[in-house]
């Protein structure tokens, strides 16, 4: 596509028209007289008629030339005016459609406000803001600082950050606005162009986030359980202060430790087996892993914890790491071990008793029998259990309607059921 080449004139269009008219007129007079003198030197009557004709041609030619020049100038002015109107419409559309408020201030008063500006300040229209002192739109506490900042903008050639200040609406309510100012030429007087953005919702969200963060941190720092987070590479990103009580390790030191340093080899192997499962750790956000782990303490001892770990994902669904809670279960494990030892000890005692011994629940079901009881029922020791005796049909034991007792036979030295 060919581009139109425009020639910049060193003089104004009016002067250029006059110059063209003068040059054309001088060229016509000079060359027409010379040609007439050469061709009709010996014919005075023909020369007179030619002079009259030349005069008419000069008038019509200069009129045509003047018409063409003025037509060109008028079309040029029309194109410039049209371009100016289109440019003004584009800029007006940009300013009115801008999401931020725009003010133009000259001599301390507002001379222009776009639609977001008058809506931001609670005005019915832009004319309600025009003519107001800019200081009346600034909160009294921030007014001196803001006016000094606006004075500095006037002496700058580039935009200046006005910071976050409190501005005042027409009804007296205050707004948190972030502003930028720049010098702006307005006809024959200097002016300031001010851009304002409402950061009230952002600050409210930040305050709410800070409050929630403070609440969660207070909860985590005062919780008896250990709360921790891991990134996608299994490095600690947060550990609650209870780690010092649980393991005797300061928080700063615990954050630098790897999982292998925190756990015993057996526990670390179980953890790696669980968290290396991509379906569980990196896809299923609802899945929780519950594990009993043995952690190392600073003094060389260990502590058992029950850990519940869940995967973390951001809003886009990208895996970000893990969050977990660990509770000290050392005392519970000691109780369980003691109970197991007692159970084993009781079992050995029952096995050593030569007489049949059994325990029944409230529904008269066998829950515990010794080997002598199994021999009494004729069930081999390796197959003897409370369930086998309960399902045996060899004996019908007394019911609540027909109570019975078991007595020892002095002659046979055996136990047999006997009706009451």
pLDDT at 253: 92
Least trusted range by pLDDT, from 37-51, 113-127, 205-219: 37-51
Least trusted range by pLDDT, from 61-70, 107-116, 199-208: 61-70
Which one has a higher pLDDT value, 154 or 345? 345
pLDDT over 70 at 4, yes or no: no
pLDDT at 419: 38
pLDDT over 50 at 143, yes or no: yes
Supply the pTM of this predicted model: 0.44
| Contact present, 378 and 359 (Cβ < 8 Å) | no
| Contact present, 195 and 102 (Cβ < 8 Å) | yes
pLDDT over 80 at 414, yes or no: no
Which one has a higher pLDDT value, 377 or 278? 377
Q: Find all residues with CB under 8 Å of 317, minimum gap 6, and list them.
A: none
Q: At what angle do helices 13-39 and 44-97 cross, to 10 degrees?
A: 160
pLDDT at 394: 45
Of the pLDDT bands very low, low, confident and very high (cuts 50, 70, 90), residue 266 is: very high
Which one has a higher pLDDT value, 170 or 203? 170
pLDDT at 385: 58
Q: Find all residues with CB under 8 Å of 106, minimum gap 6, and list them.
A: 186, 189, 190, 191, 192
Two tokens at 12?
């104004």
Burial level of 121, CB count in 10 A (0-12/13-18/19+)?
Answer: buried
| Contact present, 242 and 226 (Cβ < 8 Å) | yes
pLDDT at 20: 73
Of the pLDDT bands very low, low, confident and very high (cuts 50, 70, 90), residue 383 is: low
pLDDT at 155: 66
Q: What mean pLDDT do residues 28-39 have?
A: 69
| Phi and psi, residue 82, nearest 5° | -65, -45
pLDDT over 50 at 400, yes or no: no
320/212 Cα distance (integer angstroms): 20
């Amino acid at each position: 596509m060919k581009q139109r080449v425009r020639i910049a004139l060193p003089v104004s269009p009016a002067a250029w028209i006059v110059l063209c008219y003068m040059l054309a007129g001088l060229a016509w007079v000079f060359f027409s007289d010379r040609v007439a003198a050469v061709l009709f030197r010996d014919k005075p009557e023909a020369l007179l008629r030619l002079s009259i004709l030349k005069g008419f041609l000069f008038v019509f030619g200069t009129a045509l030339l003047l018409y063409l020049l003025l037509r060109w100038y008028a079309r040029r002015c029309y194109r410039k005016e049209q371009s100016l109107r289109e440019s003004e419409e584009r800029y007006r559309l940009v300013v009115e459609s801008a999401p931020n408020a725009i003010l133009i201030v000259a001599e301390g008063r507002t001379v222009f406000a776009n639609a977001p500006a008058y809506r931001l300040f609670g005005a019915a229209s832009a004319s309600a803001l025009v003519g107001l002192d800019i200081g009346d739109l600034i909160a009294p506490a921030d007014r001196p600082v803001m006016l000094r900042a606006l004075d500095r903008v006037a002496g700058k050639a580039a935009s200046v950050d006005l910071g976050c200040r409190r501005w005042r609406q027409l009804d007296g309510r205050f707004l948190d606005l972030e502003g930028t100012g720049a010098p702006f030429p307005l006809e024959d007087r200097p002016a300031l162009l001010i851009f304002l953005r409402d950061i009230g919702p952002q600050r409210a969200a930040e305050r709410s986030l800070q409050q929630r963060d403070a609440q969660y941190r207070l909860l985590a720092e005062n919780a008896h359980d250990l709360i921790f987070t891991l990134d996608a590479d299994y490095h600690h990103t947060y550990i609650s202060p209870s780690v010092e009580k649980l393991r005797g390790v300061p928080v700063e030191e615990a954050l630098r430790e790897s999982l292998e340093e925190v756990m015993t080899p057996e526990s670390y192997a179980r953890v790696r087996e669980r968290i290396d499962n991509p379906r569980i750790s990196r896809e299923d956000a609802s899945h929780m892993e519950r594990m009993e782990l043995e952690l190392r303490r600073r003094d060389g001892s260990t502590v058992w914890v029950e850990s519940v770990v869940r995967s973390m994902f951001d809003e886009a669904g990208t895996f970000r790491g893990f969050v977990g809670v660990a509770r000290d279960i050392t005392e519970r494990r000691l109780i369980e071990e003691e109970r197991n030892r007692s159970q084993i000890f009781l079992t050995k005692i029952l096995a050593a008793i030569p007489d049949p011994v059994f325990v029944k629940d409230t529904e008269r079901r066998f829950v515990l029998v010794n080997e002598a009881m199994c021999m009494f029922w004729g069930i081999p020791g390796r197959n003897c259990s409370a369930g086998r005796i309960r399902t045996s049909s060899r004996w019908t034991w007394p019911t609540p309607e027909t109570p019975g007792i078991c007595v020892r036979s002095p002659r046979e030295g055996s136990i047999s059921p006997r009706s009451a």
